[in-house]
Amino acid sequence: MNARKTLQLVALILVVAVAAALSYGPIKQNAKLGLDLQGGLYVVLQAEETPDRKVTKEEMQQVQAIMEQRINGLGVAEPRIQLEGTNRLLIELAGIQDPDKAVDLIGKTAVLTFRTTDGKTVIEGKDLKEAKEALEPGSKTAIVQMTLNSEGAKKFADVTRANVGKPIGIYLDQDLLQNPTVTEPITGGQARITGYGSLEDARRIALLLNSGALPVKMDMVEKQTVGPTLGAESLDKSETAAIIGIGLIFAFMFLYYRVPGFVAIISLILYSVIVVGILTWLHATWTLPGIAGFLLSLGVAVDANVIIYERLKDELRHGKTLRTAIEDGFHRAFTTILDSNVTTLISVVVLYSLGTGPIRGFAITLGIGIVVSMFTAISFTRLLLRSAGGSGILNNKKLYGA
């Protein structure tokens, strides 16, 4: 018996076991679930276009800013609101308790008002001609420049003259956007608002000020509501399916390949810890397509082990020693595994480039899994097999399926 190799084998197994045990709690605690696993609302809004009027990028950005402002008022944790293409806006609200209220809020028309401290509306959105972000001349301070129409300029002059030293609140719907203080009467129809941390902050407020109402008519072309009960049921079924599937894979690998099968199980546990750890570190959201991508990548990792072990058995049947058979088996299997994974990665790139939402999540999970499987199947599995073969206690070729 080779004590050094035996200790190395035991140490590698213990490292994987400890890593899996220590990472389970943090990963479970920090895992983010998508709306298909915890319930929620998925909405697609599409801007109406006519041959004479095309929707601009700036208008869609205004719509996005307004929706973010409205949904923030719902208290939804980490809503996903993103533009798709040139005229669509995707909204995902995972874990929302009242989807009907959210749908009403998304579909309504916004109202922009300026109010004095006693709640009186003094300026409305129709009085505002334009608002845009800028850097104050002579400094790098971000500001918002407002231009009012003739009627609005007259109202603003009267209001600011009567409220010097007092704040005037700017509201979108019932949400206070900002509460700037009047420093002097503004009589020329031109005003500026200061107090922003960055030009991006000023730009967001300018977008909202320009959006007394949605700049284009938006149609709700898709709406999906997943109840919390259905989401929890999907999560339970996914966990059950994963446990059964992984258990069957482990049983097959151990019973059919014996020592190499046991090595594969250790490698697959390490593989799972690394992949799930990376996705958690990236703050990825787990959805049903994402889980499917992970399980598929696990199958790819198993395939790599199967290819290696079949090559190993062939080498042993040709009379080679265990050590030589392990090295030649990995050498002959490498090209096949690399070709297979490269072609799958090409598919992943295509899916990510052309897909959206859950499809991209599936592609990212599968891609990360393939890259990690190259490490675990080629490097870690080889190290374990070398340790097992060199230990002197697992040298019987029957233990390797030959």
Q: What is the pLDDT of residues 160-205, one digit of tens each?
A: 899 888 999 988 777 787 888 888 888 888 888 888 888 888 877 7
Asked if residue 115 and residue 247 are part of one domain, the reply reads no
Of the listed ranges 38-42, 60-64, 102-106, 292-296, the one predicted with least confidence: 102-106
Asked if residue 20 and residue 10 are part of one domain, the reply reads yes
At 147, the amino acid letter reads T
Q: Tell whether 208 is covered by a domain.
A: no
Asked if residue 54 and residue 74 are part of one domain, the reply reads yes
CA angle in degrees (0–180, nearest 5) for 187-193-195: 150
pLDDT the model gives residue 381: 92
Asked if residue 139 and residue 97 are part of one domain, the reply reads no
Let me know how long the chain is: 402
pLDDT the model gives residue 45: 87
pLDDT the model gives residue 114: 87
Q: Which strands sit side by side in the sheet containing 218-226, from one edge to the other?
A: 80-84, 88-94, 40-47, 218-226
Contact 362, 237 (CB under 8 A): no
Q: What is the CATH number of the domain that holds 325?
A: 1.20.1640.10
Q: Tell whether 393 is covered by a domain.
A: yes
Asked if residue 387 and residue 254 are part of one domain, the reply reads yes
In degrees and rounded to multiples of 5, residue 56 shows phi and psi of -95, 165
13 has a pLDDT exceeding 90: yes
Asked if residue 348 and residue 328 are part of one domain, the reply reads yes
- Number of structural domains the chain divides into: 3
Single residue among 169, 191, 226 that ends a domain in this structure: 226
For the record, the structure tokens of 344 come out as 């799958």
Q: Once rounded to an integer, what is the mean pLDDT over residues 81-91?
A: 87
Q: What 3-state class would DSSP assign to 320?
A: coil
Closest CA to 46 of 104, 72, 85: 85
Q: Tell whether 205 is covered by a domain.
A: no
Q: What is the CATH number of the domain that holds 192?
A: 3.30.1360.200
50 has a pLDDT exceeding 90: no
Q: How confident is the model at residue 349 (pLDDT cuts 50, 70, 90)?
A: very high
Q: Tell whether 293 is covered by a domain.
A: yes
Asked if residue 63 and residue 117 are part of one domain, the reply reads no
How far apart are alpha carbons 338 and 154 in whole angstroms? 73
Domain carrying residue 241: 3-36+227-400
pLDDT the model gives residue 66: 77
Compute the mean pLDDT over every residue in the chain, rounded to the nearest whole number. Answer: 84
Query: Considering just the CA atoms, what is the radius of gyration of the chain in Å?
Result: 30
Residues 194-244: tens digit of each pLDDT: 888 888 888 777 777 776 556 677 888 888 887 767 767 877 887 888 888
Asked if residue 331 and residue 249 are part of one domain, the reply reads yes
Sole residue written with tokens 């959206």 = 356
251 has a pLDDT exceeding 90: yes
Asked if residue 178 and residue 49 are part of one domain, the reply reads no
Asked if residue 220 and residue 93 are part of one domain, the reply reads yes
Q: Tell whether 394 is covered by a domain.
A: yes
Q: Tell whether 204 is covered by a domain.
A: no
Q: How confident is the model at residue 73 (pLDDT cuts 50, 70, 90)?
A: low
Residues 101-156: tens digit of each pLDDT: 777 767 665 677 889 888 888 888 778 888 888 888 777 788 888 888 888 889 88
How far apart are alpha carbons 172 and 211 in whole angstroms? 9
Q: CB neighbours of 397 closer than 8 A, spacing ≥ 6?
A: 316, 322
DSSP H helix total and E strand total for the chain = 12, 13
Q: Tell whether 254 is covered by a domain.
A: yes
Strand partners, 222: 44
Other Cβ atoms closer than 10 A to 123: 21
Asked if residue 181 and residue 101 are part of one domain, the reply reads no
Asked if residue 386 and residue 340 are part of one domain, the reply reads yes
Instruction: Report the sign of the C-alpha dihedral through residues 90, 95, 99, 105, in that order.
Output: negative
Residues 252-306: tens digit of each pLDDT: 999 998 899 999 999 999 999 999 999 988 888 888 888 888 888 888 889 999 9
246 has a pLDDT exceeding 60: yes
Burial pattern 161-198, b for ≥16 Cβ within 10 A else e, equals eebeeeebbbbbbeeebbebebeeebeebebebeebee
Instruction: Report the sign of the C-alpha dihedral through residues 231, 237, 241, 243, in that order.
Output: positive
For the record, the structure tokens of 69 come out as 């402002």
Q: What is the CATH number of the domain that holds 218?
A: 3.30.70.3400
Q: Tell whether 209 is covered by a domain.
A: no
Burial pattern 311-332, b for ≥16 Cβ within 10 A else e, equals bbbebbeeebebeebbbbbbeb
